[in-house]
Amino acid sequence: MSGSLSGLRVAFLVAGEGVEQVELTRPWQAVERAGGQPELVSVSSGSVRAFHHLDKADTFPVDRIVGDADVEDYAGLVLPGGVANPDALRRVPEAVRFVADFFSAQKPVAAICHAPWTLIEADVVRGRRLTSYPSLATDLRNAGAEWTDEQVVVDSGLVTSRNPDDLDVFCAKAVEEIAEGRHRSQSRSVPSTGAG
């Protein structure tokens, strides 16, 4: 795993429940091993309930509510998957805005499995090359992305992977991109209609 995150804070954005536990814990551990400080950001205070497939798993304490979180406090953003997690996040305007703000700030974002649903809602996939859990391929193409079936895809600071089997390479690339810092081409896409 290349890149040092010494002294850097990394946001992990999840909903109140439904995050796939391993897609939260493995990248979290990778950030810690690289010297970074991961912070759990969620839609409400207290704790979040993770899942293993569809079975309830552990709970994790929330560090900050998304409405109180500032993108400038973080070097990058990790979006773990799970089916329910991104589906819930994309219905929370503060969460969608938080994601979009990372792109506007040209900061790295790493999303795995179903997490690109939140990217679609933030309107940041147009013209980008990425991957995801295969069932999202049509959604991503309809949102203007170029979808590909690969373990990991890196597109100017945006790191995406398909599922937990890809976690080794996903974690390595996420740390690498966050360590590199801002990416000038990592900016929020503007719809062809000119609307923001």
The answer to whether the CB of 114 falls within 8 A of the CB of 107 is no
* Environment class of 129 (CB within 10 Å of its CB; exposed 0-12, middle 13-18, buried 19+): middle
From 52, 53, 113, 171, the catalytic residue: 113
Sign of CA dihedral 39, 92, 112, 26: positive
CA-to-CA dists, residue 166 to 20, 32, 71, 161, angstroms: 14, 19, 27, 6
What angle, 0 to 180 degrees and rounded to 10, lies between the N-to-C axes of helices 21-33 and 167-180? Answer: 50
The answer to whether the CB of 102 falls within 8 A of the CB of 76 is yes
Q: Is 114 a catalytic residue?
A: yes
The residue to which tokens 């976690």 are assigned = 167
Q: Is 52 a catalytic residue?
A: no
From 52, 53, 114, 183, the catalytic residue: 114
Any idea which residues carry the catalytic annotation? 113-114
